[in-house]
């Protein structure tokens, strides 16, 4: 009888110990599962963050590419304008020759004079306007002649003052054999001027 009671006691103890061990193992497994779940959540969050960063970088790269393309397009447009402008000057020279007095007179043949056309902001802009619109005031006439002489390699001056009518006026000077000669393409048929000749005609500068 005593032996049976002892066996029962041992069995109860083993059951209690077994239950305790099972509980501990279960807790450890549950904790491990939670840790794994947390790791998965953190990994997913890291992936989302990495994805957002990658998307932002792609957008920045796309914007930079667009900006670079716009700059390149603007440069190409300026180069095209310059090429067209230079070619137009070459055509003038091919048609009229290289003599300064002839070139001064020739401008009035293909640019219609209109005293109300304002300056476009400089000799190059005025010259381009004259070539494209075939219209201009003294600004465009002098600007175009100035650019032609520059293209030919002359030391050139663009002069602003008052013309023979007393109104604001522009004309051009070039250095030829160490002597300055002046040309007014509005009155191109008069040929080259000297300082004394301009003064006699009423030019003031």
* Chain segment 48-96, per-residue pLDDT in tens: 666 666 666 666 666 666 666 777 776 665 555 557 889 999 999 999 9
Burial of 76 by CB count in 10 Å (0-12 exposed, 13-18 middle, 19+ buried)? exposed
Please state the pTM of the whole predicted model: 0.61
Q: Tell me the C-alpha distance between 61 and 23, whole Å.
A: 56
* Chain segment 112-153, per-residue pLDDT in tens: 999 999 999 999 999 999 999 999 999 999 999 999 999 999
């Amino acid at each position: 009888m005593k032996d049976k009671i002892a066996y029962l006691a041992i069995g109860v103890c083993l059951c209690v110990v077994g239950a305790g061990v099972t509980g501990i193992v279960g807790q450890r497994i549950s904790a491990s599962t939670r840790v794994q779940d947390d790791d998965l959540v953190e990994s997913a969050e890291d992936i989302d963050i990495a994805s957002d960063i990658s998307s932002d970088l792609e957008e920045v790269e796309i914007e930079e590419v667009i900006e670079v393309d716009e700059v390149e397009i603007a440069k190409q447009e300026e180069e095209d304008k310059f090429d067209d402008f230079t070619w137009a000057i070459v055509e003038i020279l091919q048609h009229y020759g290289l003599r300064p007095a002839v070139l001064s007179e020739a401008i009035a043949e293909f640019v219609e004079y209109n005293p109300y056309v304002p300056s476009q902001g400089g000799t190059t802009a005025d010259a381009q306007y004259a070539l494209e619109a075939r219209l201009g005031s003294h600004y465009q006439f002098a600007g175009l002649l100035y650019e032609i002489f520059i293209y030919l390699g002359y030391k050139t001056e663009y002069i602003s003052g008052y013309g023979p009518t007393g109104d604001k006026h522009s004309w051009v000077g070039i250095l030829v054999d160490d002597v300055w000669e002046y040309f007014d393409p509005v009155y191109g048929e008069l040929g080259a001027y000297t300082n004394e000749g301009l003064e006699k005609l009423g030019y003031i500068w």
